[in-house]
Amino acid sequence: MDKKPTLFGLQGLKRRVIYVTLYELIAIVAATAGLALLTGQGAGHSGVVAAAASVIAIVWNIVFNWAFERWESRQPVRGRSVARRVAHAIGFEGGLVFTLVPLFAWWFGISLWHAFVMDLGLIVFFLCYTFVFNWVFDHLFGLPASAAGVPA
């Protein structure tokens, strides 16, 4: 089996810290811009809720990826297929909806339904962003041990 060269062969805690930091920095910038456009409010107001959403997403990221990689390490087929990447992105983003929609409703003073409708654009963006980010991250930094079939 040929191993593709990567920039770094990151595993464990170091991998997770770099992953979360890069992911969330890009996400805060994108969410601030998107929320400001969707609500007509300034970047300062939208940036506060984007940063709060980032903290929630970091905690969810740690919990979700720990569970996903635990499940993944027990699968007979190794690697990350498109189907597995899609399942990962949907699971991660789906979990965020349950916490972020109420936060957006409260922060922007709108109903849960309106917050959900407003959040649809962000959901679609983040589904695509999560998928692409994970793919690029894995290509640059290598697969985690859970997907590569090696001990962590």
Contact status, residue 48 vs residue 2, Cβ threshold 8 Å: no
**What residue ranges do the domains of the chain occupy?**
32-125
What are the residues whose beta carbons fall under 8 Å from the beta carbon of 53, sequence distance 6 or more? 31, 96, 100, 103
Whether the model pTM is above 0.95: no
pLDDT tens-digit series, residues 9-23: 667 778 888 888 899
Contact status, residue 116 vs residue 101, Cβ threshold 8 Å: yes
State how far the alpha carbon of 100 is from the alpha carbons of 6, 57, 64, 110, 129, in Å.
Answer: 34, 9, 16, 13, 17
pLDDT tens-digit series, residues 76-94: 888 888 899 888 888 988 8
How confident is the model over 53-76, as a mean pLDDT?
88
